[in-house]
Chain A
Amino acid sequence: MTINREKLISLLVEKTGMDRKNIEQQLDDLTSRIMDAANRGKALEIKGFGLFYFDEDGNLAFKASDQLDSEINFAHAGMEPVELSPAKTGSDPASKDDNKPEDDEKDTAEEESDPDDVFGIRKTLAGTSDENDSEDSAPLGNLFRGESPDTKPEPKSKEAATKTGTAPAKKPQKQNTPKRKPAAKSRDPMNTIIVVVLAAVLLFAAYFVFTEYLNAPEQTASQTAEQQTLVPENPPAATERDITESAEPEDPEPVQVPESENEPEPLDDTIDEVTTTDPYGLYGELADTQGDLFTIVVHSLRDRGVADRTADELRQDGFRISVNERIVDGQTYYRVGIGQFPTIREAQQEATTLPDPFNNQNFIQRIQ
């Protein structure tokens, strides 16, 4: 919609409350003053509105003030140019800074000092408020600034004025010149070295921690395997109980040596000569001793007859065999143990010399 003279006068009458005729007179007066100044080769500036002048083509031109520009561009206020690709390498930003006008340097400094103001909203608002302040402080009589030749902008092509929107050369291409981001800071080589060293230390620490973490479960597993390995007949639920029992002193139970039909794997025929005087060891007969006594349990069976037959089979191979009765979770198990030893360590050492599978499927149990 076009607001013509009649509508404009009506709006002004409504706005000011002044007489219509007076408004018409004032409007004509304003027009004539603008044209007079322009015809005399001078520019007339209406503060807070803009500047009227004749451009180099001899046409009347108008340059809106920054305040008017900001208010008209309210919907896009604060939007700044976005850099899509950086400057080419090899260009020296420092030398370019030297060639830039002071306005540009000032803008850069302001941007650097306020990195949070990404879109320059704060800056725009500050600039607007500054202008408002100056407008408020100025008397209304100063709305017209001087018609001095100084205020006349430099002649400029109309196309350029239209393109950039900055006809006068007061601030050349300021709006189309994006504010440059601060140049990338050159890194201190010492910082780089420190970072590299710290990273290396962290990597080594992580490596050691990781290897420790990996080794710990293996050791535990191997130790557990030595002590917890059971023969297949033993239910898993009894495993923990067995370990506990082996560590706790128990009353020795009478060893029975029944017949055995359940034949385990054949053992080596090379059996060391057993001395009847030595109450400890893998081979020989059971002997009464004083103090602690441990055995290597290789079978844990729920049937007494089977246990006895197994024990007898082993006994035929020369082993010192004992069968011990244990109650685990309400179930009675008959454990066939090989040898008797004064300490757990000796029992463990001897267990490794047993033929397969006894050397890795056994656990140590206290029998006295």
Chain B
Amino acid sequence: MEPQFIKNFIQVVKEQIAKDNRVQINGLGQFLKVHQTQTQTKLDDGRIVLMPPKDKIEFKPETSLTNDDQ
């Protein structure tokens, strides 16, 4: 596997996810971007904080992919 391929693969996946596209990789699953709205959370020390919104990458594995050993 060529390093150039890995580098460009990462780049392409990033670009497509940033454009709100899902990237389907056969044999693995889908990469997609999900948005989390801001949430209010109470911490253990009693403080109440407002967590900022966030965009994060989520991976949905193909349903057939399970580890038989477990």
Binding site for B on A (CB under 8 A): 1-5, 8, 11-12, 15-16, 18, 23, 26-35, 38-39, 41, 46, 48-50, 52, 54, 56-62, 64, 68-69, 71-76, 79-88, 91, 93, 96, 139-141, 143-144, 165, 176-178, 180
Q: Complex: how many Å from CA A74 to CA B54?
A: 9
Nearest 10 pairs between A and B by C-beta?
Answer: A140-B3, A62-B59, A79-B52, A88-B46, A60-B61, A58-B70, A54-B67, A31-B27, A58-B67, A81-B49
Closest residue to A82 on the B side, CB-wise? B50
B11 engages A5 (CB within 8 Å):
no
B29 engages A72 (CB within 8 Å):
no
B5 engages A48 (CB within 8 Å):
no
Q: Complex: how many Å from CA A298 to CA B26?
A: 117
B21 engages A3 (CB within 8 Å):
yes
Minimum CB–CB distance from A100 to chain B (whole Å) comes to 10
A176 engages B5 (CB within 8 Å):
no
Q: Complex: how many Å from CA A56 to CA B70?
A: 8
Query: Which B residues touch A18, using CB under 8 A?
Result: 2, 4-5
Query: Which B residues touch A28, using CB under 8 A?
Result: 27
B8 engages A15 (CB within 8 Å):
yes
Given A2-B24, A18-B5, A72-B57: A84 in contact with B49 (beta carbons within 8 A): yes
A176 engages B48 (CB within 8 Å):
no
Query: Which B residues touch A58, using CB under 8 A?
Result: 66-70
B17 engages A72 (CB within 8 Å):
yes
B24 engages A81 (CB within 8 Å):
no
Minimum CB–CB distance from B13 to chain A (whole Å) comes to 7
B12 engages A140 (CB within 8 Å):
no
Given A46-B10, A58-B66, A140-B4: A84 in contact with B28 (beta carbons within 8 A): no
Minimum CB–CB distance from A35 to chain B (whole Å) comes to 7
> Which of B9, B24, B50, B62 has its CB near the most chain A CB atoms (within 10 A)?
B9
Q: Complex: how many Å from CA A297 to CA B21?
A: 103
Q: Complex: how many Å from CA A82 to CA B48?
A: 9
B30 engages A2 (CB within 8 Å):
yes
Query: Which B residues touch A177, using CB under 8 A?
Result: 43
Query: Which A residues touch B18, using CB under 8 A?
Result: 71-72, 74
Minimum CB–CB distance from A61 to chain B (whole Å) comes to 7
Q: Complex: how many Å from CA A204 to CA B7?
A: 74
Query: Which B residues touch A84, using CB under 8 A?
Result: 40, 47-50
28 A-B pairs within 8 Å (CB atoms) are namely A2-B21, A2-B24, A3-B23, A16-B5, A27-B9, A27-B25, A29-B1, A30-B6, A31-B26, A35-B27, A35-B28, A39-B69, A58-B66, A59-B67, A60-B65, A62-B61, A64-B59, A72-B57, A73-B54, A81-B50, A82-B50, A82-B52, A83-B48, A83-B50, A91-B46, A176-B41, A177-B43, A178-B47
Chain B interface bracket (under 10, 10 to 19, 20 to 34, 35 or more): 35 or more
Query: Which B residues touch A52, using CB under 8 A?
Result: 28
A59 engages B66 (CB within 8 Å):
yes
Query: Which A residues touch B10, using CB under 8 A?
Result: 46, 48-49, 68
B33 engages A143 (CB within 8 Å):
no
A165 engages B56 (CB within 8 Å):
yes
Query: Which A residues touch B43, using CB under 8 A?
Result: 177-178
Minimum CB–CB distance from A231 to chain B (whole Å) comes to 78
B69 partner, pick from A41, A71, A176, beta carbons under 8 A: A41
B48 engages A85 (CB within 8 Å):
yes
Q: Complex: how many Å from CA A68 to CA B42?
A: 28
A143 engages B27 (CB within 8 Å):
no
Query: Which A residues touch B67, using CB under 8 A?
Result: 38-39, 41, 54, 58-60
Minimum CB–CB distance from A28 to chain B (whole Å) comes to 8
Q: Complex: how many Å from CA A295 to CA B26?
A: 121
Minimum CB–CB distance from A146 to chain B (whole Å) comes to 16
Query: Which A residues touch B55, using CB under 8 A?
Result: 72-76
